[in-house]
Amino acid sequence: MAKIVAWTLSELAELFNQRRKNQYDCNVLVTGLTGKGKSTVILKLLNRFEGFKPFKHQVYSREDTIMLLRNQKFSFCWNDELIEVGYKREHWNKLQIELIKTLTQYRCNWNIFAGALPVFFTLDKELQKLFAINIDVTKRGEAVVHMRLAGRRYSDDFWDVKHNAKLEEKWSKIRQINPKFTIPYHKYSTFVGYLYWNDITEKQRKRYEEIRDIKKRKMEEDKMSDEEKSKPFYEKLFDMLIKKELNRGTFEKICIIGNKKIANARATLNKELKNKGIKERVNDLLKIEMEDLPESNQEILKELEDI
C-alpha cells in the first residue's frame, strides 16, 4: 500500500528543481475536467520559480511550444491547452511528431514543461510516455499526484493502465451501491501524494485571461492568414479548371509550384465544385492531351508563379 502523502506547491516545486539538477526531464501533465482549476494550479506552481514570465511562457500553439523547448535552458513552457498540440487522433501531424522529437532531443535543456488537458488518455500515446508527473485535479484546490513508473523494459504501459483500470472498475461498482463511497486514490500504483492549494488572486486571474485571449486570437488570425494566402492560388486554379485549360501534368506542376500537396489540392477543388453545384470533379475537367490546351504549359506556369 502506498504511503499517503500531502504535498504543498512549494514542496512540489522543489521536487521539480531536484529532478532538473539530477538531469531528469520535468514534463508535468495537469488533467481535470473544465473549470476544476488546471490552469490555476499550473500558474501558482510556476509562480514559485524565479524567471517565470507569464506572457512569454504561457502558450497555446505547437509552434510556440516547440520554439520555447528548443531555444531555452532551465526555463519554462506552459501549454494551457495541450489538446491543441497533442491530440491522439492527430498522431500523424508533422508538427505533433516534431514536438515529440523536440521533447526527446532537447531534454538536456532541462526546461519545466507543463501542459493542461481535460482527459489524460486523449493525449498522443508517445507524448504520454514523455511526461514524468501527472497532477490530476479532482476538485478545486485538490489533486492527486501520479508519477510515471520506471524500470519497464518490455512494456510501454508506463502509467500502469491495466492495473489501475481494474481498480476504477471495482470502485465504480461500489459507488453504484454506495454513492457516498470515497475513492481511495492512494491505492493507485502510480500515486505519490495529494496536493492542496488556494485560489489565485483577482489580479493574477485577470492577467492570465488577458494573455489567453491575446494568444488565442493571434492563433486564429494566423490560421485565417494562411487560408487567405491560399485563396488567390485556388481561385485562379479553379478558373483554369472550369475553362478546361489544364491537363493532368500541368495541374500537378502548378501544385508543386504553389507548395500544395496534389491530393489536398484535388480535395479543395472538388469541394468547391460541389459547393457551386457543378457535377464534374477535377479528374473530369482535366484535359488529357497537351496540345489541346489553349496556352502552352510555360505560359500557364509563369502566370501561376506570380500568384
Tell me which residue range forms the domain holding 299.
226-305
My answer on whether 238 and 121 are in the same domain is no
Query: Which of 137, 165, 200 is where one domain is finished?
Result: 200
Q: What is the CATH number of the domain that holds 119?
A: 3.40.50.300
**Measured distance CA(99)–CA(127) in Å, rounded:** 9
**How much of the chain exceeds pLDDT 90, in percent?**
60
The residue-averaged pLDDT of 50-58 equals 96
pLDDT digits (tens, 9 = 90+) for 161-208: 999 999 999 999 999 999 999 999 999 999 999 999 999 999 999 999
Question: What is the pLDDT at residue 248?
Answer: 87
Least confident window among 13-17, 147-151, 272-276, 287-291: 287-291
Contact 300, 246 (CB under 8 A): yes
Instruction: Decide if 209 is inside a domain.
Output: no
Instruction: Decide if 217 is inside a domain.
Output: no
Taking 60 as the threshold, does the pLDDT of residue 119 lie above it? Answer: yes
My answer on whether 232 and 189 are in the same domain is no
**Measured distance CA(191)–CA(79) in Å, rounded:** 24
My answer on whether 234 and 104 are in the same domain is no
My answer on whether 45 and 143 are in the same domain is yes
My answer on whether 274 and 171 are in the same domain is no
Instruction: Decide if 206 is inside a domain.
Output: no
Question: What is the pLDDT at residue 1?
Answer: 44
My answer on whether 155 and 235 are in the same domain is no
My answer on whether 177 and 58 are in the same domain is yes
Question: What is the pLDDT at residue 112?
Answer: 96
My answer on whether 137 and 274 are in the same domain is no
With cell 494566402, the residue in question is: 229
Question: What is the pLDDT at residue 224?
Answer: 64
pLDDT digits (tens, 9 = 90+) for 212-224: 999 998 888 777 6
Show contacts of 150-157: CB within 8 Å, 24+ apart. 156/125, 156/129
Is the pTM value of this prediction over 0.85?
no
Q: Are strands 76-79 and 191-196 parallel, antiparallel or unpaired?
A: unpaired
Q: How confident is the model at residue 290 (pLDDT cuts 50, 70, 90)?
A: very low
Instruction: Decide if 273 is inside a domain.
Output: yes
Query: Which of 139, 165, 200 is where one domain is finished?
Result: 200
- Fill in the DSSP letter of residue 61: S
My answer on whether 135 and 193 are in the same domain is yes
Contact 47, 40 (CB under 8 A): no
Instruction: Decide if 150 is inside a domain.
Output: yes
Query: Which of 165, 200, 235 is where one domain is finished?
Result: 200
Least confident window among 99-113, 134-148, 226-240: 226-240
Question: What is the pLDDT at residue 200?
Answer: 96
Instruction: Decide if 297 is inside a domain.
Output: yes
**How much of the chain exceeds pLDDT 70, in percent?**
89
**Measured distance CA(247)–CA(254) in Å, rounded:** 11
My answer on whether 155 and 104 are in the same domain is yes
Q: Where are the beta strands (DSSP E) in the chain?
A: 6-7, 26-31, 58-59, 76-79, 112-117, 133-139, 142-147, 191-196
**Measured distance CA(305)–CA(256) in Å, rounded:** 10
Instruction: Decide if 71 is inside a domain.
Output: yes
User: What's the structural domain count of the chain?
Assistant: 2
Instruction: Decide if 185 is inside a domain.
Output: yes
Show contacts of 93-100: CB within 8 Å, 24+ apart. 95/62, 95/63, 95/66, 96/62, 96/124, 98/62, 98/66, 99/62, 99/65, 99/66, 99/127, 100/124, 100/126, 100/127, 100/130
The residue-averaged pLDDT of 24-39 equals 93
Average pLDDT, the chain: 87
Question: What is the pLDDT at residue 198?
Answer: 95
My answer on whether 160 and 241 are in the same domain is no
My answer on whether 140 and 277 are in the same domain is no
The answer for residues whose C-beta is within 8 angstroms of residue 113's C-beta and 6 or more apart is 26, 27, 28, 69, 76, 77, 78, 79, 103
Question: What is the pLDDT at residue 234?
Answer: 86
Question: What is the pLDDT at residue 96?
Answer: 85
Question: What is the pLDDT at residue 161?
Answer: 92
Question: Beta-carbon neighbour count of residue 211 at 10 Å?
Answer: 18
The residue-averaged pLDDT of 125-131 equals 91
